[in-house]
Structure 1
């Protein structure tokens, strides 16, 4: 018996143990493969890890599992009472998260003369944090490794905007990423594209995302998924004592290392 002569259900079972990219490629083999690759049983397997995060009752019953999968790839879903979003990597089905500004620890974040919480139409979250004036710039966040896809190399990005910003172009900002109890990667970056100090010109600078926000890579880590830990992320500039303003924080995003958000220079 040829592989293509297997029953559609058998082919679907085999495809469910591959990746979304493999299933799409194999659908071109024959009509039988195409029919199996379109089946809900295949795409339900690729959605399995999301059922504990997004209630199945929130999914439209009339939508095919394949259509639902690509919808979750192309559109972030807001979870945890609006504090973070989850999205799928189209190629692998692995999970991408963004922690909103409300899900992060911001020093003086509740002091109205230092930070303002407001809504922006271009943000996926209900509110963002707008820096009014601080000298002590300190933002940190955590997420459990168990919430992330296992055996996955993740990159972490600070997502923000600058609007009439000042105070960031004279002194580097320190950013770090690490798993609790392990090594922490720390580096110096420049958050403001309008450099005033040539000494900062050699530092990593933000890039423009396709959604209009800026992002800068904070670091990366390998999530083995074998035991629970905390991914700890920090953004800090507390040594210059220069007053800073005009920074708009949407959040911190974690996505599989190969997944690059389209940017422009």
Structure 2
């Protein structure tokens, strides 16, 4: 009997469900959003704790209220968990619609997209070279389409302090190609990321691989008058996103411990006066890289 009583007491001591819900919520909040969702299925007590505002408040950015105050439209939600997943699945327009904000689902790290309107584009306001268009599939109220230029220079900036600390981020140009797009495969485009004045990433990209393959099936060989000296570099190619847009990585960086300064992200192609057109830009996205 003594042994049975002792065993029962030990079971009670080791049962996390005997703890106050606030304690369980605090413990779960020290894990990850993914772990919290798993914990929700363990028991009725853990379900309540894992879904509580105490838990999900910890997973939301500390400046979330400030960011929500800059949203274009009022954000309504019934719980912090609902808000978390809304931000993961439906990024908000903020800063007068010039930027979008969301969260990376598995970690809660902040994601931003800088709209085409907020980018610095050489000749971007000259209708002879670029035109502003409205596309229903774009999250922003306008995209910019390249009409015809021989000098391509696109740059975006974001304050490093608004990003999640100690996170490896990558920047991506989000774009489409018009059916008649040409001149975007040769020479390759150069990308650069500068963090607080220091160059942290540089590489080459090819925005229009279809054109490259059409004119040169052995596309890893240089085209006449093109990028001979760049062929030794790794060339980053675009990928199709789930939303139907294309994206190409412009480089990566680590946000560090709140490093003071801007992250400057650029894509350029200014060699030899090569004309090009048909590039449609929605913006530059900055999100955690896995």
| TM-score (norm. length: structure 2) | 0.84
| Greater mean alpha carbon deviation, residues 14-23 or residues 102-111 | 14-23
2:27 maps to 14
User: Over residues 127-151 of structure 1, what are the superposed CA-to-partner deviations in whole Å (9 max), with x where a residue is unaligned?
Assistant: 0011111101000011111110011
Q: 1:143 aligns with which of 116, 137, 158?
A: 158
2:275 maps to 243
Q: What is the number of equivalent residue pairs in this alignment?
A: 257
- The offset of 1:192, in angstroms, is 0.4
- The offset of 1:39, in angstroms, is 1.1
1:156 maps to 171
1:190 maps to 206
Matched, 1:172 2:172: no
> SS of the residue aligned with 2:248?
strand
User: Over residues 52-88 of structure 1, what are the superposed CA-to-partner deviations in whole Å (9 max), with x where a residue is unaligned?
Assistant: 2112993325x22212211110011110111110111
Distance 1:124 1:225 in 2: 31
Q: 2:90 aligns with which of 54, 57, 75?
A: 75
2:55 maps to 42
Higher helix residue share: 2
Distance 1:110 1:13 in 2: 52
- In structure 1, the gaps of 5 or more residues are 259-265
> SS of the residue aligned with 2:249?
strand
Distance 1:91 1:166 in 2: 39
Q: Which has the higher Rg, Structure 1 or Structure 2?
A: 2
- The offset of 1:106, in angstroms, is 0.3
Distance 1:226 1:205 in 2: 31
Q: 1:85 aligns with which of 100, 105, 114?
A: 100
What are the residue-to-residue correspondences of 1:84-233 with 2, within 5 Å?
Answer: 84-163=99-178, 164-193=180-209, 194-195=211-212, 196-197=215-216, 198=219, 199=221, 203-233=235-265
8 Å contact 2:131–2:147 — kept in the other structure?
yes
1:29 maps to 42
8 Å contact 2:171–2:252 — kept in the other structure?
yes
Distance 2:106 2:251 in 1: 22
- The offset of 1:155, in angstroms, is 1.0
| Greater mean alpha carbon deviation, residues 16-25 or residues 137-146 | 16-25
Aligned in 2, Cα 1:152/1:48: closer, same or farther, shift over 3 Å? closer
8 Å contact 2:160–2:258 — kept in the other structure?
no
8 Å contact 1:171–1:240 — kept in the other structure?
no
User: Over residues 110-163 of structure 1, what are the superposed CA-to-partner deviations in whole Å (9 max), with x where a residue is unaligned?
Assistant: 101111011101111000011111101000011111110011010111110111
- The offset of 1:29, in angstroms, is 2.5
8 Å contact 1:143–1:232 — kept in the other structure?
yes
How big is the alpha-carbon RMSD for the aligned residues of Structure 1 and Structure 2? 1.8
User: Over residues 160-182 of structure 1, what are the superposed CA-to-partner deviations in whole Å (9 max), with x where a residue is unaligned?
Assistant: 01111111122111111131232
- The offset of 1:18, in angstroms, is 2.3
| Greater mean alpha carbon deviation, residues 172-181 or residues 110-119 | 172-181
| Greater mean alpha carbon deviation, residues 138-147 or residues 26-35 | 26-35
- In structure 2, the gaps of 5 or more residues are 1-12, 223-230
